[in-house]
A and B are shown apart, each in its own frame.
Chain A
């Protein structure tokens, strides 16, 4: 593993203050993530771990600070749509409950963004989607609707969907929350493989063992700050 100083920061979370209603959630949280790192963010429930991911993805505005991903910077206040679109080309987000599109198949879930948001021809998008599904061992489930998938299958499809647009940073929210021991190990191996391919991952979790085993670095969130 490269030393921390040698890696290039792909994601910078800089002195972010975020208040929701009257509750101050982030109080100057700062950290950065370098190319090829798998960084785990840990902290007690309600400490704002998921909020960090939402702020990076532009789903939630913040009052002060800045977030930069792949050279695209979000500042405090409302974000304009062009900046959001540019930023979202840099990231992929895997939600805790997967949030696969309920009305289309696993394959279509993966093809949708490449075809409609990135202008990839459908044939090419489908070919790539099948490759991803095959790599994650769920190619045989490509025609299934999300409700027909098991928790582990749905998570793999969700990761494939996030990777289909080739993001620089993959954000994951509590990926092991609903997995048993074996599935957790499979997921860990899959993520490690992604890191070996040069992907950058920021994973929110409260699974100490998972973080210890697979993360290249662990951040602690407490009282709205990262240590």
Chain B
């Protein structure tokens, strides 16, 4: 049942007098709709099938089993469902701040979320399963078989948390993605050796992308739940009653059968819930090779312990951010100088090519450039994620740097150049000894500005699975259910990197102003 994203505002568009009757009807309908309270539910329609996705035949509407679960709850509450698009990783924070009544988008049941939100009873049980290339089916059956290997998953999920725990025990390398498509395409490209995700996602991807096998033994079992703000626990309780009724009368079964995800696990789950049994959020299975207490929630420990637990990974991510920023800035400066020199001294053909490069890099989003480098040309050149990130940032910033240097080179007074020429210096010497050093002094302030901007823009490379500081903080915040502590730590780490840089630039400026012996 498609649900309109545009809601009742559409009616207001009918205004022409000759459709007076229609207008009157619409106004009445609008009035009625305005009086009926809405049930605002949050989900992420971007790549969210079979949970939530844009309806292919009516892109303004969304479809999916979570859409129907939301409609079921709304019906039970006597309200009109209204979809609110929220990025998956921000759903919990949006619910907590009141952007919507409930979050439903394959949201997982975890101890942390239980502490931070009012979660519904589970309405679906899923298995965390390993997907491996078909040729590796016999080799990689469990997490323990993946020692030293890269294992992909979605960030901020139980699967990612499992991989973090397994990292210490099985020495595998977790690789975080922002979507559930690229982990599987990278599996086939050989960039990762396995993918750990919900069986719902794995099976859907297997239908579209042949070449990998889903291992039969689950790593863990988890559940999808709806999430309300803590203050809305009464509404949550009502929705729990609605869900229990839907379990009894087969409404939920019909929804999940319709979307092809019904299996024998669900009746067992419903029977336990209807009998009043409590269901643990996550249960580990044999393929994990982990102890159950490995999933201890961060919500059950003190903020100090939380910081202690996450600080090493934040520091590691800061290191990635710093190295990535420094190296890509160094490359950008080198390329920028070459481009600027070519634009000032080169012939028309060279200048045209270089202007084209600068305009292409400045005129297209850096995210697009990163995607093209990592995914777009992967069939021809399979760049490692870090190399693609470094090259992408360097090539993009080189365009901006070149404009700074070109302007700086052209700002050096002609008299300085003519004085150097009449002294017998060659054009190359004029550039290296007079024009370049003077231009560098002019370019220092905007260069520093760019370096600090690059330090922050480096967070974009998380789309290429590079675990830098912002991404690590986001995962930290998702697992913790709060942005306060992670945000403060993250900001402090960024400042620890950028402030010395600004101080160094100021010192250089002062030194260059002082007399040269």
Instruction: List A residues at the B interface (Cβ < 8 Å).
Output: 57-59, 81, 84-85, 88-89, 91-93, 95, 97, 99-105, 108, 112-113, 116-118, 143-145, 148, 161-162, 165
Contacts and interface: CB of A to CB of B under 8 A. Distances in A.
A108 to B, nearest CB: 6
B423 A57 contact: no
A163 B119 CA distance: 87
Interface stretch (B20-28, B191-199, B429-437): B429-437
Interface in B104-119: none
A113 B515 contact: no
Given A97-B415, A99-B418, A101-B416, A88 B515 contact: no
List 5 tightest A-B contacts by C-beta distance, closest first: A113-B423, A117-B424, A99-B419, A99-B415, A93-B422
A59 B430 CA distance: 14
10 contacts: A81-B427, A88-B422, A88-B423, A89-B424, A101-B416, A103-B438, A105-B515, A105-B517, A144-B515, A145-B516
B421 interface: yes
A81 B422 contact: no
B164 interface: no
Contacts of A148: 515
A75 B516 CA distance: 41
Interface in B466-516: 512, 515-516
Contact of A108 (B419, B425, B441, B516): B516
A85 B426 contact: yes
B419 A118 contact: no
A112 B424 CA distance: 10
B197 to A, nearest CB: 58
A95 B417 CA distance: 12
Nearest to A60: B418
Contacts of A101: 416, 419-420, 434, 438
Given A99-B415, A102-B438, A116-B433, A91 B422 contact: yes
A74 to B, nearest CB: 13
A88 B441 contact: no
Contacts of B517: 105, 143
A88 B424 contact: yes
A116 B429 contact: yes
Max chain A C-beta neighbours (<10 A), residue from B416, B419, B421 = B419
B434 A117 contact: no
A92 B426 CA distance: 15
Contacts of A89: 424
A38 B368 CA distance: 68
A26 B87 CA distance: 73
B416 A102 contact: yes
Nearest to B440: A103
Nearest to B423: A113
Nearest to B439: A103
Contacts of B425: 112-113, 116-117
A58 B515 CA distance: 32
A156 to B, nearest CB: 15
B516 A104 contact: yes
A138 to B, nearest CB: 14
A58 B438 CA distance: 24
A5 B422 CA distance: 30
Contacts of B424: 85, 88-89, 113, 117-118, 165
Nearest to B429: A116
Contact of A81 (B423, B426, B441, B515): B426
Contacts of B419: 93, 95, 99-101
